[in-house]
Amino acid sequence: MKKERIMIFDSTLRDGEQTPGAKLNASEKLKIALQLARLNVDVIEAGFPISSPGDFRAVQQISRKVKGPVIAALARAVKEDIDCAWDSIKDSEKPRLHVFLAASDIHMQKKLRKDPDTCLQEAVQAVRYAKSLTQDVEYSLEDATRAREDYILRVVEAVIDAGATVVNIPDTVGYAVPQEFGRLIHLINTRVPNINKATISVHCHNDLGLAVINSLTAVENGARQIECNINGIGERAGNASLEEIVVAMKIREDHYPFETGINLQEIYRTSRTVSKLSGIPIPINKAVIGTNAFTHSSGIHQDGIIKDKRTYEIINAELIGGQAAQMVLTARSGRHAVRHQLESMGYNLNDEEFKRLYERFIELSDKKKEVYKEDLEALLIDVSFAEPTYELDYLQTISGTKTVPAAVVRLRKGEEKLEEISSGAGPIDAAYKAIDKITQINIRLENYNLRAVTRGVDALGEVSIKINHEDKNIIGRGVSTDIIEASVKAYLDAINKLINMVAYNNNNK
């Protein structure tokens, strides 16, 4: 039996951009819109063109360059807004005008200072005018979940008669609870005589943490379009999360006999794109796309996952194009989980080697909340009691506002002393380049962190770096009252670990 289609209306570029601190420029908006097209959303609400010339240009650019989805622009129920919105989307292959006006008594009286009949008349006039410009017109009853039901029914019937093809019922302030919201959608679906001429849409905010369940409950009661945002971003507590809605319908298709056109494989990429460009981080425990969504630290959970992922995972990370499930080792992790992690990294230890490593792991996990792969590799090297290949013998750097930064580095390698001079973007970069000349190892610096260990002007500086060599990530640390010396020590620490790791692997093949 063919499943009924639920349309996904993405408002990340309009309502999502209203998140404080999430201002996007036109280029960033276009990048997100192109990614939303790859995600295969049905509608992209590209912006609110009357709000600023910049937003108008961004919507216009998206309308001209993004193919596939319907491109919608928001407008208040006034001619000036509608004209501006139409000018911004008229070049789209699938334009939609989205008109809204208050529906609740508190909004009409306190915000607009108008009576309900006046607002109803303005709504009808706005929809008729929008319809004269394009066939696809959506009308939203702002704050519908706090409006009187009889008024909602009157407005919905009237705007459909005026030409609306989609009628949106927004929970503007996140006030609704699932049972009453479902009842409202059911009432509209059964009591409005011309409802068969339009699609019922819902737009839920998350002030009470109910946006996703309200949206799904609305679908169960007749809504066929859901308005939602990537990562659930939006004003105040955000909007319904697109990824949670579509994945919930996929995983629980036994309960939700519907389908969307969303390309699930693009969810992870879309989520990260929006987070990066908007500057809004994804909470680590965010459902579906948080970094902890597929991470396990409990020893009992880890044991179950090793035996069968289905024991503690209902979503396969590959479904959303994400990274594979991972384990974070902690003091609660058992021997089985530690050995499994080592084997997944390519290390096969005998019983005696594993016993020594596990003792060191327990010591480390008591001090450190989470133990990562790089930490395990460092423990392997420590357990092997390998001596450092290179040690710092001499360091001199030169830098200044009108001086080319340079460094002289001399290293000891056994009885041999090796010295090189190099310049760089700064004294640390110059020192690292001199070391690279000496070691002749192709290394890429991935990360560099500096923090003060103690207080005062003579504080110790601790440098932590991550280097990459042939897809191996190695962490190095160094401490000194001189931050350049600490940086060099950290670099050498990582290089020595790398050399010992390669030797260890060669000896254990």
Q: Which domains does the chain have, with CATH numbers?
A: 4-278 (3.20.20.70), 295-383 (1.10.238), 391-507 (3.30.160.270)
First vs last C-alpha separation in the chain: 55
pLDDT at 346: 66
pLDDT at 455: 45
pLDDT band per the 50, 70, 90 thresholds, residue 107: very high
> Tokens in use for 490?
């950290």
pLDDT, one tens digit per residue, over 266-295 is 998 899 889 888 888 888 788 888 766 555
pLDDT, one tens digit per residue, over 456-487 is 554 557 788 889 888 777 878 777 778 999 89
Average pLDDT, the chain: 87
How many Å is the Cα radius of gyration of the chain? 30
User: Reduced to 3 states, what is the DSSP secondary structure of residue 316?
Assistant: coil
pLDDT, one tens digit per residue, over 212-271 is 999 999 999 999 999 999 999 998 999 999 999 999 999 999 999 999 999 999 998 899
pLDDT, one tens digit per residue, over 355-414 is 888 887 887 777 666 676 656 765 665 555 456 899 999 999 999 988 999 999 999 999
Assess whether pLDDT exceeds 60 at residue 95.
yes
DSSP string, 348-413: ---HHHHHHHHHHHHHHHHHSS-B-HHHHHHHHHHHTTPPPS-EEEEEEEEEETTEEEEEEEEEEE
Distance CA 124, CA 155 (A): 8
pLDDT, one tens digit per residue, over 310-346 is 664 556 767 777 654 455 676 667 777 788 777 766 6
DSSP string, 166-203: EEEEEETTS---HHHHHHHHHHHHHH-TTGGGSEEEEE
Q: Which stretches of 224-314 are assigned E, i.e. beta strand?
A: 225-228, 258-259, 295-296
| pTM score, whole prediction | 0.66
DSSP symbol at 51? G
Three-class HEC string of 402-416: CEEEEEEEEEEECCE
pLDDT at 226: 98
> Tokens in use for 462?
């601790």
* Of 425 and 505, the one with more pLDDT: 425
pLDDT at 340: 75
Assess whether pLDDT exceeds 50 at residue 43.
yes
Mean local confidence (pLDDT), 122-132: 98
Assess whether pLDDT exceeds 90 at residue 18.
no
Contacts 24+ apart (CB under 8 A), 410-415: 411/435, 411/438, 411/492, 413/389
Which residues neighbour 235 within 8 Å (Cβ) at sequence distance 6 or greater?
15, 18, 19, 205
pLDDT at 202: 98
| Under 8 Å between Cβ of 382 and 360 | yes
φ and ψ of 442, to 5 deg: -80, 105
pLDDT at 1: 67
Q: How far, CA to CA in Å, does 400 sit from each of 195, 427, 481, 485? A: 74, 9, 20, 17
> Tokens in use for 486?
């600490």
Mean local confidence (pLDDT), 200-216: 98
Distance CA 324, CA 129 (A): 51
